[in-house]
Structure 1
Amino acid sequence: MKKVFQFIGLVVLAAVIYYGFETYPKLDLISGFSAKSIASGHFLDNRSIDLIEKTDNDIDMIDLAKNEVDDNKKFATASVYGLKKRKAIYREGLGTTLINDDFDEAKPYLTPKRNKTNSNLPFPYGNVEPEKFIFDNIDYAKLNAAVANAFDNKGEKKKRTRSVLVIYKDKIIAEKYDRGFSKNSKILGWSMTKSLTATYFGILQKEGKFNINKPAPIAEWQNNARKKITTNDLLHMNSGLEWDEDYGKISDATKMLFLSEDMTKSQINKKQVGKPNSTWNYSSGTTNLLSGILRNQFKTHQEYLDFWYASLIDKIGMDSMIVESDMAGNFIGSSYGWATTRDWSKFGLLYLHKGNWNGEQIFDESWAKYVSTPTNDSEGQYGAHFWLNAGGRYPDSPKDLYSANGFQGQRIFIFPSNDLVIVRMGLKEEEGFDFNGFLKEVLGSFGK
């Protein structure tokens, strides 16, 4: 019997050692994710630590972190078993930034200048509450049932929807929020921010200030085969550059988001492993590289910061939006855009109207077609920083549907043939949330 207990003890010890060996290298990422999530949710949306831990951070391994917040100095910290403590600081105008031990918190920093218009027009073109409008061709009982079905019953954690907004012909026809959330809640869009980042190239191109079909202006590529990579290739995630986008392990993507000081440089030195315009590979590093290219279009950092808001975000009244920055002060265009559900919907409406915002053309009409045209080697899944239905991803929706997609099921669906935008924000991807069924039910309420 003694030998049996000794054997069991050895097995347990081996398991502990193996677990520690496998887990320790990930602790930087675990505590980094947790500190950043706690700080952003708390300081941008006034959520409690308890709510963030039970919702945003109830992810395998991330829930190991112990978190603390300093409301006076505006930062959050996280560690795992007292190891690998990480810190995320809040700065007005820039949101929260995950920092390392070398970061100088006392160093002065620039913030974007905002020009939030206080228009007396109703939503979406102003700040006045929209008037209720009844369309004869909509079965509202079916529509409301479809929206309600997207949410969990009390006590459940299956669908995990936080908000749904349905806009038809510029009118809100359905809007619902989960407990603890409202029209004023800022919600992280994750990779929906990628679609926002790409849009700036459409704006610059309309202004005659940038040609996406020329080789990407990256100095490090000019003396090797990578000099043939165009900005168009980058916008289509089709550069042929090496990149590992895996969030379940230590990967290029997780090292960039939770360890890098300047995320715009994360993919610059990657090898070329495929032919440009023929090797589609989804990459957050590519989007942050594009953010760096945008930075280099301006003489000063202040101009770069202001451009993101003046040319798009504030221009279309996304007043709640904050795009967070890295330690070098560059916008993390791949992942960290926060806004209310209504403000996210305005971005979808801008594309629905092919760049026209209440009479002003923000980007050329052709840009909307450009981003929604399938890129080579993507099997109709992807355009230029937007996801597509051309390949039938949602079989019960029109093929011209395209969308801005983010981690955990953030979606802005744009239906050009239906004059429709649907926003769904939540904490579940398609494995747990039936997007095709949801869209089918909403579309089924039309044609009354």
Structure 2
Amino acid sequence: MNKIFKISLLLILLAIIVVAVLYYPRLNLITGFAAKNMCSCTFISEREPANIAATDNGFEPVSMAKSEVNAAEKYASSEVFGLKERTAVFIPGIGCTLVPEDVENEERTTLTPNRSREKIACPYPFGHEKAVDTTFSEVNYDRLETALDSAFAPRNLTRAVVVLYRDHLLAERYSEGFSEDTKLLGWSMTKSITSALIGILNRQGKVSLEQDHLFEEWNEDERSAITLNNLLHMNSGLAWEEDYTKISDVTKMLFLSEDMSEVQLQKSLVGEPGSAWNYSSGTTNLLSALIRDQFDTHQEYLDFWYSELIDKIGMHSMVVETDLAGNYVGSSYAWATPRDWARFGLLYLNKGEWNGEQVLEPSWIDYTVKPTPGSDGEYGAYFWLNAGGVYPNVPRDLFSANGFQGQHVFVIPSNDLVVVRFGLKEHPDFNVDDFLNSIISSIEKTQ
């Protein structure tokens, strides 16, 4: 027995040494991801910690982290073999935020957005009443069910699908443990929300696409030439590394920074603005700071996101999380039910109009879906495009909000469709081309 104990202890020590050698430089990122995700999934999505650990945090190397939740004090902590413990704290209204390394307690803004969750008195998707049970003669419902069956095959790890057709709820399905009331993280779909808010400010005359000298810190150097259009097209010329597999600009921003807008703000120019496309979550959080700069008070900034967009179109389930500096994490951290994410897609399908009100100018939608030079027709203004034929069996006019692990809001104007999909696998492991083509094929084209 003593020999077995010694061997077991030796194996544990060897495991710790292996982790230390291979992963120690990244442990604060691993435990940071695990703690933040555990906190948000528990307190925003209202899911069970054991399920979160096995699924959302169940991939390497995040699965090495052990997480604990304090339900009473509303925080989650994660560590790997007792090393690099990180804690994320929840505040209703602004979500979960990581506490900086080696700091037991950190002051965080107590300001929260004022919300207007008045129910809109019309059927879903434009309102909050029960969706109208509509049958379309051109829809082959058996084929549509087969398309959903395929999407929810166990290998695909799909959690939710919502299909809107001709402004009606055509189909929806959820995997076990999820429902129409479950708030799900959009990850980089949040960038598309941020783009819409810039569009609203543009409509209000507060910003313009060719506006330069965007930040005081840039006024005395060559970065002053960067325009708002450059930031929206991710061709600012600023240095940025978007690599989630190592310590990079994006991982340091999301899991180490107190003010996420500062990371991109302090980067130097490495290319001429407008000359090259470079995907950057830092740029989006820089735009979140730019939005904040348009208001006299922090409270006005917090309220604006909801009063002018989110609550205005009835996305009452949505929560956009902030960093420690009180900036919305416009790159990554918006949560909402799949039905509410579908409302957002419908706003764009209908050229910015919602219940008779023009929330976004039609010209802004056109701008959004115009390909960015250098993106091979794949990217517009914080929306992904099919102009280059990434999905060969899907119409080229498709555009979408996309997020990590296969979160999508697809808008297909030529088919009058909005398709929302949430899951834990992304293209090509989850074949988006086949998925969308099977839904489109279930609808006979009408003249």
TM-score (norm. length: structure 2): 0.94
State the SS of the aligned residue for 1:267: helix
What's the counterpart of residue 248 of structure 1? 245
**Superposition map of 1:207-226 within 5 A:** 207-226=204-223
State the SS of the aligned residue for 2:373: coil
Are residues 227 and 118 of structure 1, via their aligned partners in 2, closer, same or farther at CA, if it must alter by over 3 Å? same
Aligned residues with identical type, % of pairs:
52
| Structure 1 residue 208, shift from structure 2 partner | 1.2
User: Is the Cα contact below 8 Å between 2:341 and 2:420 reproduced in 1?
Assistant: yes
| Structure 1 residue 105, shift from structure 2 partner | 4.7
- Gap regions ≥5 residues in structure 1: 1-11
Letter in structure 1 aligned against 2:320: V
Residue in structure 2 matching 1:324, options 321, 324, 342: 321
Query: Deviations along 1:218-271, whole A, 9 cap, x unmatched?
Result: 112112211111011000111111111111111111010000000011101112
What's the counterpart of residue 113 of structure 1? 114
| Structure 1 residue 119, shift from structure 2 partner | 2.2
| Structure 1 residue 16, shift from structure 2 partner | 7.3
User: Is the Cα contact below 8 Å between 2:115 and 2:307 reproduced in 1?
Assistant: yes
Residue in structure 2 matching 1:369, options 366, 371, 379: 366
**Superposition map of 1:41-440 within 5 A:** 41-100=41-100, 101-102=102-103, 104-105=105-106, 109-153=110-154, 158-440=155-437
Letter in structure 1 aligned against 2:174: Y
Are residues 341 and 21 of structure 1, via their aligned partners in 2, closer, same or farther at CA, if it must alter by over 3 Å? same
CA distance in 2, matches of 1:400, 1:291: 28
User: Is the Cα contact below 8 Å between 1:381 and 1:388 reproduced in 2?
Assistant: yes
CA distance in 1, matches of 2:217, 2:107: 32
User: Is the Cα contact below 8 Å between 1:103 and 1:327 reproduced in 2?
Assistant: no
CA distance in 2, matches of 1:280, 1:350: 27
Letter in structure 1 aligned against 2:440: L
Are residues 62 and 13 of structure 1, via their aligned partners in 2, closer, same or farther at CA, if it must alter by over 3 Å? closer
| Structure 1 residue 18, shift from structure 2 partner | 6.2
Q: Which runs of 4+ in 1 moved over 2 A?
A: 12-22, 101-108
| Structure 1 residue 128, shift from structure 2 partner | 0.9
CA distance in 2, matches of 1:258, 1:393: 31
What's the counterpart of residue 29 of structure 1? 29
State the SS of the aligned residue for 1:307: helix
Letter in structure 1 aligned against 2:59: I
Letter in structure 2 aligned against 1:116: R
CA distance in 2, matches of 1:348, 1:233: 24
TM-score (norm. length: structure 1): 0.94
CA distance in 2, matches of 1:118, 1:201: 26
User: Is the Cα contact below 8 Å between 1:201 and 1:212 reproduced in 2?
Assistant: no
What's the counterpart of residue 5 of structure 2? none
State the SS of the aligned residue for 1:37: helix
Are residues 103 and 17 of structure 1, via their aligned partners in 2, closer, same or farther at CA, if it must alter by over 3 Å? closer
CA distance in 2, matches of 1:14, 1:148: 45
Are residues 236 and 367 of structure 1, via their aligned partners in 2, closer, same or farther at CA, if it must alter by over 3 Å? same
State the SS of the aligned residue for 2:44: helix
CA distance in 2, matches of 1:346, 1:137: 23
User: Is the Cα contact below 8 Å between 1:116 and 1:317 reproduced in 2?
Assistant: yes
CA distance in 1, matches of 2:344, 2:120: 18
Query: Deviations along 1:352-378, whole A, 9 cap, x unmatched?
Result: 011000100001110001010000110
CA distance in 2, matches of 1:427, 1:271: 35
CA distance in 1, matches of 2:250, 2:283: 10
Are residues 16 and 340 of structure 1, via their aligned partners in 2, closer, same or farther at CA, if it must alter by over 3 Å? closer
User: Is the Cα contact below 8 Å between 1:216 and 1:231 reproduced in 2?
Assistant: no
User: Is the Cα contact below 8 Å between 1:150 and 1:438 reproduced in 2?
Assistant: yes
CA distance in 2, matches of 1:16, 1:339: 38
Letter in structure 2 aligned against 1:142: R
| Structure 1 residue 276, shift from structure 2 partner | 1.3
What's the counterpart of residue 3 of structure 2? none
Are residues 13 and 302 of structure 1, via their aligned partners in 2, closer, same or farther at CA, if it must alter by over 3 Å? closer
| Structure 1 residue 417, shift from structure 2 partner | 1.2
CA distance in 2, matches of 1:15, 1:119: 56
Aligned length: 433
CA distance in 1, matches of 2:98, 2:108: 15
Moved more, 271-280 or 361-370: 271-280
